[in-house]
Amino acid sequence: MSSDSTPPVIAISDAGHHVGETVRLRGWLYNLRKSGKIVFPIIRDGSGQMQCVAVKSNLPEAVFETLKGLTQESSFAVTGKIRAEPRAHGGYELDVEDVEVLQRVLEDQPYPITPKDHGVDFLMDHRHLWLRSRRQHAAIRVRHEVIKAIRDYLDGQGFTLVDTPIFTPSACEGTTTLFEVDYFDDEKVYLTQSGQLYNEANAMAFGKVYCFGPTFRAEKSKTRRHLTEFWMVEPEMAFADLEDVKRVAEQLIVYTVGRVLENRKEELKVLERDTSRLESVQSPFTRMSYDEAVKILQSKGSEIQWGGDFGNTDETLLTEGLDRPVIVDRFPSEIKAFYFQPDPHRPEVALGVDFIAPEGYGEIVGGGQRIHDLALLEKRLDEHKLPREAFDWYLDLRRFGTVPHAGFGMGVERFVAWMCGLEHVRETIAYPRMLYRTRP
Ligand code: 4AD
Ligand code: MG
């Protein structure tokens, strides 16, 4: 309890509930504008920013001079009365009565990020500080909303969260992109590429499950869509097929986009996102087979041949002029992982599906129906030259009450980049890990 003499500390985001009251804000100096006998410090506290107004004639000299001498990113607390100010950013201002400096940033060692244009490498080297900037702050808040919306959606649909291990003894998505780790006693393990194989076991125990965590790919791709460490949500359902995957993933996307639009308006404004491009993300999405997609791409001048995988440019071409993701299914089995169920009418294609986001954001969802037949799965493991022993537990799922089942993975960073309209996924995660970046 605060006594009458100590004003309550509030979050800037809560200012609307304290108009006319004297409160205390704690934060960092974002900017300072001086205009003769008035100074306007902008304080940010993580929840928002507020312009403070300090008038020389209303304040003790020391208070005014302290404010006037504040340097960028100095930490301080300020006391004053909240006033509604429609012209101000956020709608409120604080008339300063007192100030207390926690740490003043020194002039000879100033905050390295200034309003001037820094190169992205410099900013990435200072990522631990760059996160304080408005655009970075906004992107990370959109990410938070995306993650929360995904969880809310799946929890509301009866999915149980069952997290899967990060150290794994075998590959899920093929052996070429595994990070190897020295475990104890000369044992080798790998950082997980996907929780899917464990999800399949969990689906047989819980029906509908999801895992949500970091996944790792030792891909030497230096594109704006690839990280070596990224977060993926992976729902998996027993008694489900390819059509269920398309339906659930589409609903999940529409719901999550809606939540971002509803709860992150301010952030989208800071990011200068054209929100009309997100408002049009409604059901139904355009659906096509891989065969049709190849024909469309060829007609648009792509060199792709049947049997090839889509490149980044192909994905962008495919959604050209469209206002929502495209769903492409039935890829050639040859280019897909070992676990995909073949189409019973055309065994050369897999019951797999990709969702390609518009505006060049590329594949955001990949998934499909899994092989549930023991003999066929064993055959596939052999064809892919994968050691059966390592997958023995996985084969058990086909020995003990096997059922058709299906699921998918959605990459958080690509989704957030799309929501924010960001050029590169590196700004959608606090500390991106890429081919040439593991610091800070
Ligand atoms: O298509 P992927 O590789 O699918 C799987 O891993 C399946 N086992 C998932 C499942 O069915 N449970 O990856 C799924 C998604 C992609 O659509 C993309 O959004 C994201 O994960 N992704 C990446 N995001 C950032 N950087 C990378 N290197 C990514 N690789 C995949
Ligand atoms: Mg994929």
Residues with CB under 5 A from ligand 2 (ion): 366
Q: Note whether 243 and 250 are within 8 A (CB).
A: no
Q: Whose CA is nearest to atom 22 of ligand 1?
A: 411
- CB of residue 76 inside a 6 A radius of ligand 1: no
Q: Note whether 260 and 146 are within 8 A (CB).
A: yes
pLDDT score at 26: 98
Residue with tokens 């891909």: 219
Who's near 84: CB < 8 A, 6+ residues apart?
Answer: 19, 91, 92
Point out the residues of the chain with pLDDT beneath 70.
Answer: 1-4
Helices 374-383 and 392-399, interaxial angle, to 10°?
160
pLDDT score at 4: 60
Please report which ligand is nearest the Cα atom of 219. 1
User: Which of these, 269, 317, 314, 232, lies nearest to 137 by C-alpha position?
Assistant: 269
User: Which of these, 156, 268, 168, 259, lies nearest to 213 by C-alpha position?
Assistant: 168
Distance of alpha carbon 301 from alpha carbon 292, whole angstroms: 14
pLDDT score at 1: 47
Who's near 239: CB < 8 A, 6+ residues apart?
Answer: 207, 403, 404, 405
Distance of alpha carbon 220 from alpha carbon 428, whole angstroms: 20
Distance of alpha carbon 233 from alpha carbon 256, whole angstroms: 13
Q: What is the Å distance from ligand 2's center to 199 Cα?
A: 17
Hey, what are 37's tokens? 């006998």
Q: What is the Å distance from ligand 1's center to 138 Cα?
A: 24
Who's near 104: CB < 8 A, 6+ residues apart?
Answer: 69, 70, 71, 74
How far is C-alpha 386 from the chain's CA centre?
Answer: 32
Where are the strands (E) in 177-302, listed by range?
Answer: 180-182, 188-191, 208-216, 229-238, 286-289
Q: Is 161 helix (H, G, I), strand (E, B) or coil?
A: strand
* Beta-strand pair 49-55/38-44: antiparallel
Query: DSSP letter string over 283-352?
Result: SPPEEEEHHHHHHHHHHTT----TTPPP-HHHHHHHTTT-SS-EEEE--BGGGS-TTBPEETTEEEEESE
Who's near 384: CB < 8 A, 6+ residues apart?
Answer: 174, 338
Residue to mutate (ligand 1; options 221, 232, 415; most atoms within 8 A of CB)? 232
Q: Note whether 94 and 78 are within 8 A (CB).
A: yes
- CB of residue 432 inside a 6 A radius of ligand 1: no
Q: What is the Å distance from ligand 1's center to 24 Cα?
A: 46
- Amino acid identity for residue 70 in this structure: L
Q: Note whether 427 and 418 are within 8 A (CB).
A: no
Distance of alpha carbon 435 from alpha carbon 83, whole angstroms: 49
Counting from 1 in the atom list of ligand 1, the atom nearest the Cα of 199 is 12
